[in-house]
Amino acid sequence: MADNFLLVQELLSDIKKPNRGGNVMLKLDMMKANDRVSWIFLTQVLRRFGFSEVWIDMVWRISNVWFSVIVNGLPQGFFRSTRGLRQGDPISPTLFVIRAEVLSRSLNALAGHRSFRPFKVPSSCPLVTHLAYADDVVILMSGFKASVKLVKGVVNRYCEMLGQKFNCQKSCLLVHPTLPLQRRRHRILSTEGKVVLLRSVLSSIPIYLLAAASLPRRVFALLEKVMADFLWGSTDLGPKFHWISWGDLCRSKEEGGIGVRSMAKVYDAFSIKLWWNFRQKHYLWVEFLTAIYNKGLHLCLDEGVPSQSSMWRRLCSVEIFHENIVSDFVTQAQWNLGLLNQVLQPGLVRQVIEVPPPSPRGSDRMVWALTQDGVFFGSPCGPTRCHCCTEPGEEGINHTFCTGKVAKAVWSSFEDPGEASRVSTLRHRVIWWWLRQGQNVYLKFVYRLLPMIPYWEMWKARNRGVFEGRRLVGTEVRNLGISGDGGVVRDLEGQLIFSYSYFFGSLTSLHAELKAMACGVQLCVARSLHDLHIKVDSLVLVQILQGKDACPWRLQREVDGLLRYKRYFGDITHCYREANKPTDYLANLGADTEQEMIFGSHRALPGMVRGEIQMERLDFPNFRKRSMS
């Protein structure tokens, strides 16, 4: 939705450009969009799109609904519905989009009509006839009479076939850009109540507008003046005196403020987010802006063109250091400190030189350092992200206490795995514990009290992650510690070729597994061993190398280095640790001795490793010990 808003805003800047009949934006709102869908029309559309009759029949059966009217407590007769999508049904949004595709294709077809004059855009930009989101449609055209008649004909035919109607009260015709600003009237509240309302409601109302719209700085001052007047109150003679400046009020409570967000700072933060999205080049509005202003050049190299739009000026106002290619700062396989100090602050230079210099091969990749996969996420009004998973998902009470990675690890210490898998909500788990049968009143009391203790500890851990930036214990990629790893290389008959043990220092378990695999592959290639089959007990690493999971951006370089040897190995499969005991012992050996060792024969291996290999040859199983009390 934000992408459509950004594109509409850019088109609005061109609405006054000369065009026969003028440029016109028609915003239409569908009345009861889901309830008025005709099933006969929908089945015809599905058939034209090539869906099989079996599938159409399955969809048709969804519409086979009978209703009855209750009169005096008793149902009186039945009647059948002929239109309407069931809201809440998983397939309803897909059917709604398929139905809306008819209108979309009809409007796109107007661009090829000889009498239709489109909305005037620069010649290098793609033609946009309409934008749609859910039940709202914005149609772009000229005010030329023939064009208006063509659009009206398409809309009327669509309404007749589908039975759809448009809400005239919510629809409008836009020919000039406007920006209404409404003041919130003063309400009688206590000072504490006003602060709460300011922080939770009033300062959040313009957030989405700041994320997409390009506003003059005087608008921020006006908004903040309205909020300040609301906080300090007013009399019949006018606003009361403001004893503290608004800038000081926007400080955190620890710094003497009340924690209200500054509109200008929020606007600057969203400007950086827009810069990020622009540099990713995955959006239509980015393609549109690039075609108009910088013709494919880098934004930093833009020399400016007359009559720039407000959105382009906002992007150019972001203060970003010169974006050189990373390899420009590397000289003879070493970081060039002189060049780094010219463009980076000393603290950032220290962080850069801690990373090994990259190779000149490959292209640069922009990453967001606050996420594992380097992809920026977040929305001004969207849900918060959890602090307990490798890939943060949407945070919720059930995710935090029941279904999240940390919650599952905690409850696995108290419950049987089969019982825990059937619980998915906080309320269900509490009731399940309260209804457990105890042998005496004391055990029943423990069962009633037990759920509260893990919940309280998980809640405190969650708050440490949110407010102190500390990851919850139990995640897979933050478990830093002294690490080592090892490997065993065998031939097709299971005979030992060689084995190795390495010490890696302080690394995460995932990083250690990756380095061990890379070292093993390099050792095999050095010994002219090809057509390798790799087994590893890290399922996360296997999924990353198979492309099923996102790679943490900090490990991307080493993953790319491993994949350069792709021609020397085939499959990479996962095995449980119980089936990988020899390498587990070698990994512990490397971590304990802090040495790198290569064993070229079976006799040179430690006795425990030789014993495990011999047991594997005899097909002796390994067991995982688990207390079931």
Task: Tell me, yes or no, whether 405 and 510 share the same domain.
Answer: no
Asked whether residue 391 is assigned to any structural domain, the reply reads no
Question: Which residues face 482 on adjacent strands?
Answer: 506
pLDDT for the residue numbered 303: 55
**Which pLDDT does position 115 carry in this prediction?**
84
Residue located via tokens 């390498």: 583
Which among 468, 494, 519 is the end of a domain? 468
Q: Which residues in the chain show pLDDT less than 50?
A: 177-187, 321, 378-383, 473-480, 628-629
Q: Are residues 256 and 208 in the same domain?
A: yes
State the residue range of the domain holding 510: 481-618
The string of DSSP letters for 219-248 reads HHHHHHHHHHHHHH-EETTEEPP-SS-HHH
Q: Which two tokens stand for residue 315?
A: 């992007």
**CA–CA gap between residue 217 and residue 229 (Å, rounded):** 19
| Distance from C-alpha of 141 to C-alpha of 151, rounded to nearest angstrom | 8
Residue 602 DSSP label: S
| The predicted structure's pLDDT at residue 270 | 84
What are 393's two structure tokens?
A: 């998902």
State whether 171 and 207 are in the same domain: no
The pLDDT value given to residue 347: 80
CA dihedral 252, 253, 257, 262 (to 10 degrees): 30
Helix (H) or strand (E) holding 29: strand 23-31
Which domain CATH number covers 93? Answer: 3.30.70
Tell which of 412, 443, 468 closes a domain. 468
DSSP 139-179: EEEES-HHHHHHHHHHHHHHHHHHT-EE-TTT-EEESS---
In-domain check, residue 623: no
Same domain, 498 and 595: yes
Domain with residue 585: its CATH number is 3.30.420.10
- The answer on 519 and 579 residing in a single domain is yes
How many structural domains comprise the chain? 4
- Kindly state whether residues 124 and 50 are assigned to the same domain: yes
Same domain, 33 and 161: yes
* Residue 488 shares a structural domain with residue 443: no
Asked whether 405 and 392 are in contact (CB, 8 A), the reply is no
Angle at 20 between CA 18 and CA 25, to 5 degrees: 80
283 within domain boundaries = yes
Answer yes or no: are the C-beta atoms of 497 and 489 closer than 8 Å.
yes
The closest of 281, 308, 288 to 122, measured between CA atoms, is 288
Residue 116 lies in a domain: yes
Distance between CA atoms of residues 580 and 241, nearest Å: 74
Among 550, 372, 566, which residue's Cα sits nearest to residue 478? 372
Q: What local confidence, expressed as pLDDT, does residue 48 receive?
A: 84
Query: In the prediction, which pLDDT does 492 show?
Result: 82
Task: Tell me if residue 515 falls in helix, strand or coil.
Answer: helix
Q: Read off the pLDDT of residues 93-141 as tens digits, 9 standing for 90 and up.
A: 777 788 778 888 888 888 888 888 888 877 778 888 888 776 678 888 8
> What per-residue confidence (pLDDT) applies to 469?
55
Pairing of strands 569-574, 532-536: parallel
Helix H or strand E segment including 99: helix 92-109
Tokens of 294: 């910088």
Inside any domain, residue 48:
yes
State the residue for tokens 């009688």: 188
Asked if residue 138 and residue 214 are part of one domain, the reply reads: no
Looking at residue 125, the DSSP 8-state letter turns out to be S
Residues 133 and 252 in one domain: no
Q: Are residues 210 and 71 in the same domain?
A: no
Distance CA 280, CA 275 (A): 9
133 and 7 co-located in one domain: yes
Q: Please work out, in degrees rounded to the nearest 5, the angle formed at the alpha carbon of residue 419 by the alpha carbons of 418 and 420.
A: 95
Instruction: Let me know if residue 542 belongs to a domain.
Output: yes
Residue type, 140: L
Does the pTM exceed 0.75?
no
Domain boundary, last residue among 175, 199, 217 = 175
Within 10 Å of residue 553's Cβ, how many Cβ atoms? Answer: 17
Alpha-carbon distances, residue 610 vs 597, 604, 606, 613 (angstroms):
15, 9, 6, 5
What is the SS3 string spanning 179-199? CCCCCCCCCCCCHHHHHHHHH
Is 3 a domain residue? yes
H/E element, 489: strand 481-490
In angstroms, how far is CA 203 from the centroid of its own chain? 24
Place of tokens 């802090």: 594
- Domain membership flag for residue 476: no
The secondary structure of residue 418, as a DSSP letter, is H
* Res 187: pLDDT: 46
Smallest Cα–Cα separation from 115: which of 21, 190, 38, 32? 21
* 418-424, long-range: CB < 8 A, 24+ apart: 424/398
Exposed e or buried b per residue across 443-466, where buried means at least 16 C-beta atoms within 10 angstroms of its C-beta: eeeeeeeebeebbeebeebbeebe
